[in-house]
Amino acid sequence: MAALAILYILVSIVATSEAIRRDDFPSGFVFGTASSAYQFEGAAGEGNRGKSIWDTFTRRPGRILDFSNADVAVDQYHRYQSDVDLMKGMGMDAYRFSISWSRIFPNGTGEPNQEGISYYNRLIDTLLQKGIQPYVTLFHWDLPQALEDRYNGWLSQEIIKDFKHYAYTCFKAFGDRVKHWITFNEPHGFSIQGYDTGLQAPGRCSILIHMLCRRGKSSIEPYIVAHNILLSHAAAFHTYKLNFKEKQKGVIGIALDSRWYEPISGAKEDLDAANRAMEFELGWFLNPLIFGDYPLSMKNLVRSRLPRFTSDDSTSLAGSLDFLGINHYTTLYARNDRTRIRKLALNDALADALVITTSSRNGERIGERAASGWLHIVPWGIRKLMNYIKENYENPLVIITENGMDDPNFTTLDKALKDDKRIRYHADYLSNLQAAIWEDGCNVHGYFVWSLLDNWEWNSGFTVRFGLYYVDYKSNLTRIPKASVQWFKHVLEKNDTLAQKGITFKDQIG
C-alpha cells in the first residue's frame, strides 16, 4: 500500500507540473514561502518579548474559533534551523518573515532588546548560509500592547514617530544582510478587521449587531488607522533612503491585500461598482503611494471622514515604493448596491463603497471553495489583477508576497498529505501569472507561497491548514511533507545554464 501511495503521488506531481517550471519565468524570478512572527514563532514568554495586541485579543472569549492562542504556534523560534533546511530542500530562493515589534521593543519604544535582535540575527544568518534571501516585514499586525495602552496605537499620530524609530533600529541591526524590506502587511485587512468589523485585534467596532465590540467607531477609525499607516510607511521609506540605502543598497516595499472584483454583469452600474471595490481595497493604499492622494471615489463617498494629506504628505508618499507586494488569494463578483440598505444598517467603512460582493452568479459559484469560507479558487483572477495594476498604476514592479489555499484540519493524515487540490491551485495560479508576465507585459518578479508550514491562522486558530508541510500538533509539532512539497521541488529544479545568464532580481530593481 505504501508503494502504491508513493506511485500515486509521483504520477500526480508529473501530471500537474509539466506546464509549470522555474525556467518558464523570467531570469531572476524569486520563489519563496511566507510567514509571520505571531503565527509561527511561539516562545511568547521568552527572550524578553513584550505582549502584543494579539496576545491580549486571543484571551477574550469568543474571538478564536477553537479557543487557541499562538503562545507556542509552530515553535519556529526554537526550530528555525530545521525549518530553513526544509526551504532549502525544496529549492526556494527566499523566505518572507516578519519581525515581532515587541521582541525588539517590549514596551514599544525606548532601548532595543538585545535578545530579540540576537534571535533575528541568528535566523537571518542561517538563511544566508543556506543561500536563501530574507524578505523582512516590519509590521504583520502584532502591535506592542504597550503602545495600544499608551495612546490607542494606530489611532494616534504618535505611532508614526515610534514606527520610524522601530524601522530605523531594524535597518541598522539587520540591513547589512537584509536587502528586501516590507513595511506593512495587509494594511487594508488590518484597518477593516481591527477597527470596522472588530473581528481581529485590537477588536474595535461600533456595529450594533456585533455583541463582542465594546468601543470604537466603524465609520471613522479604519480611515484614521490607514492614514497613520501610510504616513508611517513614508517615514520609514525616507528614513532608509536618507540613512541606509547608499551603503546597504536594499529596497523597500509594502504588501497590500487585494482580491479581484469581477463585475457581476456588463451593466455600467456593475462595472462601476467593481471599480469602486478595487479602489476601496487596493486603491485606498496604492493611490497615495503612487500618486500622493486617495482615489476620487473614496473622497466623494467618504467625504469629511476621510483624512486629508498635506502637500508635504503627498510629496512624501508619492513614489515611496521600490516594489509592490501583493497578497492575493481569491476573487468575488461585485454589483452596485442600489438600495444602500447595508450602508444605512451598518454605518461602517465597508459599506461606503456602495458595493455588494458575492461568490455566485445565476446559482453558479465563481470557483471551488477551499476550507475557509472566504477563499474561492479562481486562478484567472490573479491575471486580471496584475493587468489592473499594470494599467492603472504605471506597471510597477510587483511581487506576489502571499498566495495559497487551506484544507480543513479535521481529516486523516493520509488525506492531508495527498494535497492534490493545493497542487492544482498553485499550478493554475502560476500558469495565469506566467501569462500575465509573458503575454500581457505585467512587471511581476516573485511568488511567495503561504505558507511553508501549517500554522496558527488568526481567528481560525488551528482549524485550517495552509502549509506545504503538515504540522502534527499532537506529536511534538513534527513537520511532515505533503505531496505539494515534492511538486514544488520538481517545479523549482534549476537549469544551471539558464541560471548563468540574464540579470538578477536586484539588478532589475536597481
Is residue 364 flagged as an active site residue? no
Q: Which residues contact 450 (CB under 8 A, 6 or more apart)?
A: 33, 34, 327, 329, 402, 403, 404, 466
Q: Would you say 38 and 88 are in contact if contact means Cβ atoms under 8 Å apart?
A: no
Q: Would you say 456 and 73 are in contact if contact means Cβ atoms under 8 Å apart?
A: yes
Q: Would you say 243 and 167 are in contact if contact means Cβ atoms under 8 Å apart?
A: no
- Give dist(CA 54, CA 45) in Å, integer: 14
Could you tell me which of 419, 401, 478 has the C-alpha nearest to residue 98? 401
Among the listed residues 41, 148, 402, 457, the single catalytic one is 402
Q: Would strands 323-327 and 251-257 be described as parallel, antiparallel, or unpaired?
A: parallel
- Enclosing H/E stretch for 454: none
Q: Would you say 115 and 122 are in contact if contact means Cβ atoms under 8 Å apart?
A: no
Could you tell me which of 220, 245, 384 has the C-alpha nearest to residue 320? 245
Could you tell me which of 299, 275, 472 has the C-alpha nearest to residue 392? 275
Could you tell me which of 51, 221, 229 has the C-alpha nearest to residue 149? 51
C-alpha cell at 423: 497542487
- Give dist(CA 8, CA 76) in Å, integer: 31
Q: Would you say 410 and 455 are in contact if contact means Cβ atoms under 8 Å apart?
A: no
Half-sphere exposure of 320 (CA within 13 A, CB side): 29
Is residue 186 flagged as an active site residue? yes
Q: Which 3 state secondary structure label does DSSP give 111?
A: coil
182 has which bridge partners? 137, 253
Whether cis (ω within 30° of 0) applies to the bond prior to 202 is: yes
Inter-CA distances, 429 with 20, 22, 374, 380, 401, Å: 10, 14, 17, 7, 13
Among the listed residues 41, 186, 221, 281, the single catalytic one is 186
The secondary structure of residue 442, as a DSSP letter, is -
- Give catalytic residues, as residue numbers: 186, 402
